[in-house]
Amino acid sequence: MWDRLLQQAPQGFGEDFLKWVQELENVLLIRFATWKPADPEAVRNYARIINRQVPEEVQLYYEHADPVSFLRDGWLRWEERMQEYQTVWTLALEDLLHMSATEARALVATSEPLWPINCFEGITDDVAFAGDKGETIVMELRLGEKGRGKLLAVGLRNYFLRYIVLEALAENEMEPVDFDRLARRQEVLKSSGYSSESLIPRHVAFLIDKLMM
C-alpha cells in the first residue's frame, strides 16, 4: 500500500503536496498536522527572538499548519519549552560528559535554534533546524529523556512521506504496534531522505542521544 501512496504524491513541497497529505488523513485515519495557518506575527516574533529567518520550507508549512496550536498561547509556550530543552541539555552534558556548567552551556549554544513542526501533543516534539548545507533537518525530541534527539527526515516533504510509510506499514501490524521497530525498516529510512550510513547532522540533541545508547 505504501508504495502506491508514494507514487501518487505530487512533486516537490508545495500547496498541492500539503493538500494531498491532508486528504490522506482520511485514508490512514491519522492526523499529521493541525491544518490552519500559524499566526504570522507570532512566527515573526519567534524568528526575531532566535535571530534567524524562517526557512523557506518551514514558512510554507506555517502558511498551512500551526505546529503549536494544541495549547493556548502556543508560541509563548514554545519559547518556554525551548528554555526547558536548553536546561535539560546542559544538565545532560554535565552528567554524561562531566562538563562544567559553563562548558555545557557553551556547547548547547552552538546548536542551531529549532522551529516547531508538531509539538505538545504527546511525549515527543517534532522540530526542524537548518543543516550545514542549508537543508531542513527534522528530528524528534524527548524532553523526559534528557532532551535526546532522533533524526526523522531531511526535508519536510520527506518528513511527511516517512510518516505516511510508517502508518501504512502499521496497518498490517498486530496491536500494540512497535513503531520504533518499524522506523528501522528500509522502506521508512528510504522515504526519510537518509540511510543508516548517512552522517548524523550536528546538534547537541543528537550528541546526547548517542551518549545514551
Kindly report, residue by residue over 166-196, the tens digit of the pLDDT.
888 887 776 777 778 888 888 888 889 876 5
Query: Nearest Cα to 145, choosing from 97, 71, 91, 203?
Result: 91
Written as nine digits, the cell of 82 is 525551548
> Does residue 197 register a pLDDT over 60?
no
Adjacency order of strands within the sheet including 136-142? 115-118, 125-130, 136-142, 148-154
What is the spatial distance between Cα 88 and Cα 184, in angstroms, rounded to a whole number? 27
Question: Beta partners for 153?
Answer: 138
Lowest mean pLDDT among 84-93, 103-112, 196-205: 196-205
What is the spatial distance between Cα 174 and Cα 25, in angstroms, rounded to a whole number? 21
Determine what percent of the chain falls in helix, strand and coil, rounding each to the nearest 5.
Answer: 50, 10, 40
Q: What is the DSSP string of 147-202?
A: TEEEEEEESHHHHHHHHHHHHHHHTTSPSSP-HHHHTTSHHHHHHTT--TTSPPPP
Give me the phi and psi of 142, to 5 degrees please: -120, 100
Q: What is the mean pLDDT of residues 100-105?
A: 97
What is the spatial distance between Cα 22 and Cα 106, in angstroms, rounded to a whole number? 41
For position 195, what pLDDT does the model report?
63
**How many residues can be counted in the chain?**
213
The dihedral through the CA atoms of 183, 166, 35, 129 has a sign that is positive
More confident residue, 169 or 61: 61
